[in-house]
């Protein structure tokens, strides 16, 4: 009468024969191993996303670096609609003709265009600038009197919709629930029998 084979005996036999232990495990155990690896990968992705968010907050506070989204194509083809740009607030005295900057307008949305001319303002730190979108045939109707602007460092096309969608309460709720489930699953205690059998 043959002795029943347990997972441990299968693993020991595989180690003795030099074969991979995973190949000798039953399909259920292999599926658990793959699920564990997938869960670990998702945890790393979530951790990386958290690090990116922390870095963005630190940059926003310490270096005045933020993100802006482009809903129109006035800066196409340089920055097409649907792009996200990384911008940094700088003194108006630091900008030059040809820079792409965002100007805040009281009671209106900010505007991001390319500087076409710069003149001194009433105060030493003030500048009067004219701007034009790369897709426009003429300058903006009025010049802008500014002491600071947000200069575009670089842009990434096509991700504005994704970032805007992250602000949807349903999306945020779903991501929070998914992250909670993943963390609970990853740190849920395993039974001693399963750990001894090499199944995670």
Confidence of residue 172 (pLDDT cuts 50, 70, 90): low
Place of tokens 């602000």: 167
187, with CB counted inside 10 A (0-12, 13-18, 19+), is: exposed
120: its two tokens: 């001194």
Rounded to two decimals, the pTM is 0.61
Percent of the chain residues topping a pLDDT of 90: 42
Domain count, the chain: 2
The answer to the question of residue 200 being in a domain is no
Same domain, 51 and 107: no
The answer to the question of residue 135 being in a domain is yes
Q: pLDDT by residue (tens digit) across 74-116?
A: 999 999 999 999 999 999 999 999 999 999 998 899 999 999 9
Q: Comparing 124 with 10, which gets the higher pLDDT?
A: 124
Q: pLDDT by residue (tens digit) across 21-33?
A: 444 555 555 556 7
Same domain, 28 and 108: no
52: its two tokens: 């990116």
| Nearest Cα to Cα of residue 149 among 113, 108, 124 | 113
The torsion angle over the Cα atoms of residues 156, 158, 161 and 163, rounded to 10 degrees, is -30
Same domain, 19 and 92: no
* Cβ atoms within 10 Å, residue 85: 23
Same domain, 94 and 127: yes
What is the domain range of residue 44?
A: 7-62
CATH code where residue 72 lies: 2.10.109.10
The answer to the question of residue 180 being in a domain is no
Same domain, 28 and 71: no
């Amino acid at each position: 009468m043959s002795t029943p084979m347990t997972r441990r005996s299968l693993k020991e036999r595989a180690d003795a024969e030099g074969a991979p232990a995973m190949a000798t495990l039953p399909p259920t155990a292999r599926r658990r191993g793959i699920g564990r690896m997938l869960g670990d990968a998702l945890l790393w992705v979530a951790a990386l996303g958290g690090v990116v968010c922390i870095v963005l907050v630190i940059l926003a506070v310490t270096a005045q670096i933020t993100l802006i989204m482009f809903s129109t194509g006035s800066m196409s083809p340089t920055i097409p609609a649907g792009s996200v740009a990384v911008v940094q607030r700088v003194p108006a005295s630091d900008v030059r003709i040809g820079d792409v900057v965002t100007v805040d307008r009281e009671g209106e949305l900010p505007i991001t265009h390319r500087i076409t001319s710069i003149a001194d303002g009433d105060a030493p730190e003030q500048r009067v600038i004219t701007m034009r979108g790369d897709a426009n045939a003429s300058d903006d109707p009025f010049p802008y009197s500014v002491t600071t602007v947000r200069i575009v460092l670089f842009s990434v096309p096509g991700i504005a919709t994704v970032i805007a969608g992250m602000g949807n309460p349903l999306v945020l709720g779903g991501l929070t629930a998914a992250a909670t489930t993943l963390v609970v699953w990853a740190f849920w205690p395993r039974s001693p029998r399963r750990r001894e059998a090499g199944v995670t």
